[in-house]
Structure 1
Amino acid sequence: MSALSSEAEDGSSCDGADERDLPCRASGLVSAKLTIVVGDTHFSEEKMFLVQSCDYFRALYRSGMKECRQEQIHLRSLRARGFVIVLAVLRGEKPALDGDDIVEAIECAAFLQVALLAKHLINLIDSDNCLLMYHTAATFGLMDLYHAAALFIRNMYTDLEAEVRKSLPSEMISYVESLTPSVFVAVGAHVTCGGGETVHAASRTVCYLDETGNNWKVLTDLPLQASTSMAGVTVLDNKLYIVGGVHGLHKQVVEACFCYDVEDNSWGRISSPAQLRYNLSLVGLDGRLYAIGGEYERTVMSSVEVYDVKTGKWEFAAHLPRPVAGAACTKAMSRIFVCLWRPMETTEIYEYISRKDEWRLVTTLIRHQSYGHSMVGHRDNLYVIRNGPSDDFLRCLMDCYSLSSGQWTSLPGHFANSKGSLFTAVVKGDSVFTLNRSMTLEYVVDGKTWKPRRQMKGFPRSGSVWTFMLQLPDALMLQ
């Protein structure tokens, strides 16, 4: 097992807990050590660390059982290597896991109820380990991982079906096939359509690609008051969000923000950020929307606001290191990254550290480039896509940054970028879908290379296009 040491980036913390979860503080839990025996291996850890980090130990020290007073606890059903992985993840590391590691990690995550480890395992799902993840999660009842692995398999079913039918029991195959695969969805840049204006209303549609029929179909119409022009558009928990945007010749900001729920096939309003903005970047992660930078009254901003879906409230977060509009953002390994580009040579990648509410410089890339870039996260890699040299700007160059190794790699060759197709790249399983008016092109991510796989129909809209993945209910796709 190899491990990448880093701080916990998902907002969970091992320093500072809810007082309700620390019933033994007064009896010396803060500084007490506990020896955990797993197999023949002894681990010495702070009790407070274990109680704050792990539901099993939290429940144990709430129970009042005799184990609360013991200095040594035996975990007889687990194996030492799995517990090593648990401790690594709880300390903020992002270990890479092979087959044996995965099995033992899932066993420990289920028995000790370690949500952070389950989340890390979900981030590691790929074409090579998804069947193992799925079967082992079923065995130990780790249901979040079970569903995530099944959905990954469903999204890659063309490649995996033969192996699935050979290696999985019928009930597990049935569950995979009962899931709706993610579909490629696109919406053009449209301003509001209020005041009785209906001339352009027919084109204000969100569409999805029917891969079987190689055709684009209408999913829903945009609300008349919604603008996708210079707006923040993203998907979170299978819901589409639109924040900000502009209308009119003078780029008047749109205050109304919207959410589309595919399950109900309905649009609803959400509250607006305290700081109205357009040309922002919008990212969704762990039940929150992050509105990053943007402009207001033609002034570029560095402010960031976070929307909690459960509470329906926006709160300001740490400012970016400098003002930015239309920044390239992505998610990878349940972490948020943003590119701050300094023309014409330098791209800086920052990560938002939620538990510390700060932006941390991850890496700097210096490359000669003409203009523009986007960023795509896949597994533990960040792909930065930029225009080629100024005499060949319709082709793209791509660089890959590995979060695990901290190394940059230039992908070989140029990628065709007629009218910005790669700037709309989104991930589905181990594939990347790109789009322009001429074609939809699917790449397979193999190692750190992108290999063209198939070409489908382009999106018949001019101007900027937003793309993303959604799981659509069968009823919607049958309309």
Structure 2
Amino acid sequence: MTLRGGEWKTLPALPVARGEHVSVTAAGKIYVIGGRVGETPNAAHYKDHRDTSRVDVFDPNTQTWSRGTDAPTARNSAASAVIGDKIYVVGGRQYLEQPNGDAANVNVASLEVFNTKTGLWSRKAPMPKAAGGIAATALDGRLYVFGGEQWTPTKEVFASGWVYDPSADAWESLPDMKTPRHGAAAGGIAGRIFVFGGATETGAGDVAVNEVLAVQP
């Protein structure tokens, strides 16, 4: 079916302006989780923002926002996917002051799961390697995570792939992507994982690469 004549409409704005957050659809609602929010009236610079664990929930039927249960970890540039009635939030980074007094984005490896039926968060086994700016998707009841970058202690872009099995609360490594990148997007369908676009340099280097991984049953 081809949709024509669509029209964008303005709906109630986010309760708090933010960026570098994640959003997913679960249980008929849209969850906006984490990211960075302004700490000053103008918040003109990156340092004027802080990482947040805030969760806001949008109900498309009533077109209203409600406050969700805060996530355990405040972070930006994480990734998220839904498996069943649970929301998985993984990786990302935190803007933290370093021993020399400067601030830097430090990667986190934590995996946290929100149960939409109970309204509770739980912590699960962390990623084997902390990474921010990752791509994630779910397929056949498992969580897949790819790529990412780090800013400190060295600047790197990753080609790594990982799969998480909720039934075992365990991670396994996957073959590296052909192209290391961060800021990409991923999707899974019919036994295959696709990873689109991204950037090949820390903070830069956009590419149009599209790579696919056939998943073994």
State TM-score, norm by structure 1.
0.32
5+ residue gaps, structure 1: 1-125, 127-179, 192-199, 357-479
The residue type equivalent to 2:33 in the other structure is V
5+ residue gaps, structure 2: 2-25, 38-49, 97-102
Change (3 A) 1:181 1:264: closer
Change (3 A) 1:336 1:251: same
Pick aligned residue for 2:69 from 209, 213, 220? 220
The residue number in structure 1 matching 2:211 is 350
Deviations 1:353-377 (A, max 9, x none): 0129xxxxxxxxxxxxxxxxxxxxx
Deviations 1:84-140 (A, max 9, x none): xxxxxxxxxxxxxxxxxxxxxxxxxxxxxxxxxxxxxxxxxx9xxxxxxxxxxxxxx
Deviation at 1:324, TM superposition (A): 0.5
The residue number in structure 2 matching 1:412 is none
Pick aligned residue for 1:259 from 113, 117, 130? 113
Change (3 A) 1:204 1:330: same
Local SS of the residue matching 1:347: coil
Change (3 A) 1:312 1:346: closer
Change (3 A) 1:245 1:346: closer
The residue number in structure 2 matching 1:13 is none
Change (3 A) 1:213 1:292: same
Q: Tell me if 1:306 matches 2:163.
A: yes
Deviation at 1:217, TM superposition (A): 1.0
| % identity of equivalent residues | 25
The residue type equivalent to 1:183 in the other structure is K
**Structure with more of its chain in strand, by fraction:** 2
Pick aligned residue for 1:233 from 80, 84, 92? 80
Task: Give the length in aligned residue pairs.
Answer: 168
Are the counterparts in 1 of residues 89 and 111 from structure 2 also a CA contact under 8 Å? yes
- Give the CA RMSD over aligned residues: 3.0
For residues 323 and 270 of structure 1, the distance between their equivalents in structure 2, rounded to whole angstroms, comes to 26
The residue number in structure 2 matching 1:122 is none
Local SS of the residue matching 1:230: coil
Are the counterparts in 2 of residues 287 and 310 from structure 1 also a CA contact under 8 Å? no
Pick aligned residue for 2:58 from 209, 216, 221? 209
- For CA contacts below 8 A with separation 6 or more, give which structure has more relative contact order: 2
The residue type equivalent to 1:317 in the other structure is L
Are the counterparts in 2 of residues 230 and 278 from structure 1 also a CA contact under 8 Å? yes
**Structure with more of its chain in helix, by fraction:** 1
Pick aligned residue for 1:268 from 105, 122, 137? 122
The residue number in structure 2 matching 1:186 is 32
Local SS of the residue matching 2:74: coil
The residue type equivalent to 2:84 in the other structure is D
Deviation at 1:347, TM superposition (A): 2.1
For residues 54 and 91 of structure 2, the distance between their equivalents in structure 1, rounded to whole angstroms, comes to 18
For residues 243 and 345 of structure 1, the distance between their equivalents in structure 2, rounded to whole angstroms, comes to 23
State TM-score, norm by structure 2.
0.67
For residues 112 and 163 of structure 2, the distance between their equivalents in structure 1, rounded to whole angstroms, comes to 15
Describe how 1:75-474 pairs up with structure 2 within 5 A. 182-190=28-36, 204-223=53-72, 226-247=73-94, 248=96, 249-296=103-150, 297=152, 298-333=155-190, 335-340=192-197, 347-355=208-216
For residues 29 and 109 of structure 2, the distance between their equivalents in structure 1, rounded to whole angstroms, comes to 29
For residues 128 and 78 of structure 2, the distance between their equivalents in structure 1, rounded to whole angstroms, comes to 16
For residues 126 and 168 of structure 2, the distance between their equivalents in structure 1, rounded to whole angstroms, comes to 13
Farther off after superposition, 262-271 or 228-237: 228-237
Change (3 A) 1:213 1:252: same
Are the counterparts in 2 of residues 227 and 245 from structure 1 also a CA contact under 8 Å? no
Deviation at 1:346, TM superposition (A): 6.0
Are the counterparts in 1 of residues 87 and 115 from structure 2 also a CA contact under 8 Å? yes
Deviation at 1:184, TM superposition (A): 2.3
For residues 292 and 302 of structure 1, the distance between their equivalents in structure 2, rounded to whole angstroms, comes to 7
